[in-house]
Amino acid sequence: MHVDPPVVSRLLPWAARAWFVAAAAGQWLFAAYIVWVLAWPLLLGDGAAVNRTSLITGHVAGDTLGNASLLGHVAAAAVLNLLGVLQLVPALRRSHPRWHRLAGRVFMTLSLVAVASGLYMTWLRGSRLGDVSAIAISFNGALIGLAVTLAWRRARQRRFAEHRRWAIRAFLLVSGVWTLRLGLMAWVLLNQGPRGNTPRLDGPFDLFWVFGCYLVPLVVAELYFRAERATPVAQRAVALLLGLCAVLTALGTAAAFAFMWLPHF
Ligand code: HEM
């Protein structure tokens, strides 16, 4: 007997859409913060304004290379947070394929700019809170390089199903620093204060989340890819998981906006 899948197959894309709406709001608010609070003052040479935020090193008078790295880093981050989510919209990919290709090239190039400038600041400029978080973000950077390269190559080889999967992985990896903030703030909100957190990011929860902020989304994405071809029951389970991710993303966005970004506008 043929089992009609529409109810279930509708649930999975709807859960993905719910997560997308929360993520787009969160990424664009982060982009607004980066542009207004970091990139614009840095471009105007107003180091004092930037140093009033929670940056580790920030602007240092006379350190031309360091300041340029920071500016390049945050400028790339702003564009990545603006562009990235749009690449995920299937309708936009279909109606504006040339835009998708151009934005994709910009995204992939700027990801590598963010990684290179970030690694320079972490290991050569000394902008790190602790060694474990520095290793975690460096591993994130290495995975970004891998995912971006594979997404690019699969597109050129016209292997679009694989390109889509690698591009989604690249997006989630590039968004690791954003997920880190959302997760930390949601955690603090849910616990009514820090629990397993330290200012050096080496408390038990910090140690889990500095790696989890990009590894957990990769695992969820893998379950989503498998669910697309799985049984209705598995699809429903992954839809529930994605729904939970949507709620947590919305909560994390609200908390990060209220506690981390809004006070600096
Ligand atoms: C994966 C490799 C990366 C490394 C090693 C890295 C490293 C760093 C470091 C060391 C800082 C602090 C600079 C300072 O305090 O002076 C920083 C700040 C920042 N990074 Fe990255 N980064 C990486 C990737 C990214 C990516 C992919 C994005 C965004 C798409 C990003 C967005 C930011 C933003 C917005 C800040 C400013 C922080 C704030 O004010 O909250 N980073 N990064």
- How much is the pTM? 0.95
pLDDT tens sequence across 109-158: 999 999 999 999 999 999 999 999 999 999 999 999 999 999 999 999 99
Output the CA 73–ligand 1 centroid distance in Å. 7
Domain chopping of the chain, boundaries: 6-264
Write phi, then psi, for 198 (nearest 5 degrees).
Answer: -135, 160
Output the CA 195–ligand 1 centroid distance in Å. 24
* 46-69: burial string, b at 16+ Cβ within 10 Å, e else: ebebbeeeeeebbbeeeeeebbeb
What is the C-alpha separation between 112 and 46, in angstroms, rounded? 26
Output the CA 118–ligand 1 centroid distance in Å. 6
Structure tokens at 260: 């981390």
What is the C-alpha separation between 59 and 91, in angstroms, rounded? 41
The per-residue pLDDT for 7 is 54
Structure tokens at 243: 């729904």
Other C-beta atoms closer than 10 Å to the C-beta of 204 total 11
Asked whether residue 262 carries a pLDDT value surpassing 80, the answer given is yes
- 44: helix, strand or coil: coil
Indicate the pLDDT class of residue 9, thresholds 50, 70 and 90: confident
Quick check: CB of 154 below 6 Å from ligand 1?
Answer: no
Residue with CA at minimum distance from ligand 1 atom 21 = 118
Output the CA 144–ligand 1 centroid distance in Å. 13
pLDDT tens sequence across 191-201: 999 999 999 99
Tell me which DSSP letter residue 88 carries.
Answer: G
Quick check: CB of 177 below 6 Å from ligand 1?
Answer: yes
What number of helices (H) and strands (E) belong to the chain?
Answer: 11, 0
What is the C-alpha separation between 166 and 147, in angstroms, rounded? 6
Residue with CA at minimum distance from ligand 1 atom 4 = 118
| Amino acid at site 232 | P
The length of the chain in residues reads 265
Output the CA 87–ligand 1 centroid distance in Å. 22
Contact, 107 vs 84, CB < 8 A?
Answer: yes
